[in-house]
Amino acid sequence: MGKLEGKVALVSGSGRGIGKATALKLASEGASVVVNDLDPVEGDAVAAEINAAGGRALAVNGSVSADDFATRFVEAAMDGLGGLDIVVNNAGYTWDATIQKTSDEQFQAMIDVHLVAPFRILRAAAEPIRIMAKKEAAEGREIFRKVVNISSIAGLNGNFGQSGYSSAKAGIVGLTRTLAKEWGRHRVNVNCVAFGFIETRLTRAIEGEQAAIDVQGREIKVGIQPELINTFNSLIPFGRAGTPEEAADSVYLLCSPESNYISGQVLLCSGGLNI
């Protein structure tokens, strides 16, 4: 029996990287998982992997920024898996430029995916959570639910070339602390993990021509110059970037029963980096 046996989790952006590692971690502890990815091939593959391992999962793919996404995501948990206990708002990407080169579209895209989408998902989850919590309280049962929003060290300290990303990641901290106050009466722990330098496709070393990802028709350049990666690693007390699995473990900590009296907090997962 895993510590999350019988729980149902939503994990956005879980077709690869940190999100995939998080979905697999929660499933390994017994949670049923609603997976999501912009690329349906990736999202479906993770759901299939969980099911093949004996777990329960389904995929709700597509952009978290779509107007109808939040409702579809929450309904999948409630109707498809029979409940909703954990929400991990992980989906996102970086689209960097110094402020004078940042367009309105670019800035708004970062706000939409990193702040508006989590807000909508949590708003859609509010009424089902309230109804379940009210029923449990009437029965004399204290059941804790978990929200883990994903921020970044850039949201705490800012980062060169990331005015949109940093602003959105700072905003998610405010949303976290507000919902911790609103939802405490429903026994929902609302916390945030702020990642430092984690190994993903967004942070790989640029070798030759810079790689790009496609986000709904937009070609977004990704990757970091090797010399900058070396600088980052020299600043991290552990001397290296974190793995997606290590990042997922920090999310799991705030989904576990041991976090039942922890709410409104920001956990920095950065190997000791704090600048």
Spans of all domains in the chain:
8-204+243-268
pLDDT of residue 161: 94
- Which has more confidence, 56 or 205? 56
Q: Is the pLDDT of residue 209 over 80?
A: no
Say whether pTM exceeds 0.75: yes
Catalytic status, residue 261: no
Quick one: which of 215, 193, 247, 195 has its CA closest to 17? 247
Q: Is the pLDDT of residue 240 over 90?
A: yes
pLDDT of residue 171: 98
Q: Is the pLDDT of residue 252 over 80?
A: yes
The mean per-residue pLDDT over the stretch 182-196 comes to 98
The share of the chain scoring above pLDDT 70, in percent, equals 100
Q: Is the pLDDT of residue 202 over 90?
A: no
Domain at 8-204+243-268, CATH class: alpha beta
Q: Is the pLDDT of residue 214 over 90?
A: no
pLDDT of residue 106: 96
pLDDT of residue 206: 84
pLDDT of residue 227: 87
Q: Which of 93, 165, 252, 261 is catalytic?
A: 165
